[in-house]
Amino acid sequence: MNPILHKIVETKHEEVRLSRGKTLPPRVIPIRPWEPRLKTNSISVIAECKKGSPSSGILRPDYHPVEIASIYESAGAGAISVLTDSQYFFGSLNDLKSVAESVSIPVIRKDFIIDPVQIDEAYSYGASAILLIVRILSPRDLTSLLQHAKNLGLSILVETHNREEVKTALDAGATTIGINTRDLDTFEIHQNLIEDIAPELDDSIIRVAESGIKSYDDWQKYKGIVDSMLIGTYFMKSKDIKKDFQSLLSGN
């Protein structure tokens, strides 16, 4: 685990410690299953609300997640991902709550989840799904967190970066698997990773391409081998999100 990722995980342990015992607000919106929205006749889009990241800094100084989420929904996104990490990605649980209450499509809490209390927070603040990252979890913890989320009725995107991590995810019971082309140890993009791994997954698995997606060519390249693409930076750098959303899908 590289120093930045290690530091993020250490921060998460401290956040979990401070969160234990806190009373969470009651959930006010229904859970929206995302499987039908992700596995369609085409490639669906999980569009991301992300102000910045450790590798890129601030991506969108004028960041209004509810406004962005509304554009995503009107453009045809299958689901919306909201970064909730505050220290490294400049997000919050309130961003999650406000987005989940403003749209009618599933919203995923994207964070570095290491403990059930974070899943309880996701549920309470309106998420319909969570992200679990194989790289930062033991197989036992991954299985336990998957089950905890399922018990709450949440969907789970399990992020992987190589065949070994995909096997770990499948063994834990994952049914939606993200293949992240970005190596969390080096932050480098491995361009052909999706084409190498996704075709090996059974059709019953929802396959999600993550990171480095920024053109119609990427869309075409992944046709037939993934069900969905998670896209954040491309949209966050856009001056006209809806126009660039449609351009990504049509090439025009």
pLDDT in tens, 48-86: 999 998 888 999 999 999 999 999 999 999 999 999 999
Place of tokens 């209390």: 117
Please, what sign has the CA dihedral across residues 160, 139, 16, 188?
negative
pLDDT tens digit sequence for 203-223: 999 999 998 888 888 888 898
Distances in Å between the Cα of 18 and the Cα atoms of 32, 90, 107, 110, 183 are 29, 19, 25, 19, 30
Which of 15, 53, 110, 124 is flagged as catalytic? 110
How long is the chain?
Answer: 252
Residue 15 catalytic?
A: no
Residue 10 catalytic?
A: no
Residue 121 catalytic?
A: no
Which helix (H) or strand (E) covers residue 128, if one does?
none
Residue 211 catalytic?
A: yes
Which of 159, 165, 228, 238 is flagged as catalytic? 159
| CATH numbers and ranges of domains, the chain | 3-16+34-250 (3.20.20.70)
Residue 223 catalytic?
A: no
Residue 50 catalytic?
A: yes
Distances in Å between the Cα of 22 and the Cα atoms of 3, 11, 18, 124 are 30, 18, 8, 12
d(CA 251, CA 115): 41
Which of 81, 124, 210, 228 is flagged as catalytic? 210
Q: Is 70 exceeded by the pLDDT of residue 1?
A: no
In this prediction the pTM is 0.95
Which of 128, 211, 228, 238 is flagged as catalytic? 211
Q: What 3-state DSSP class applies to 30?
A: coil
Residue 165 catalytic?
A: no
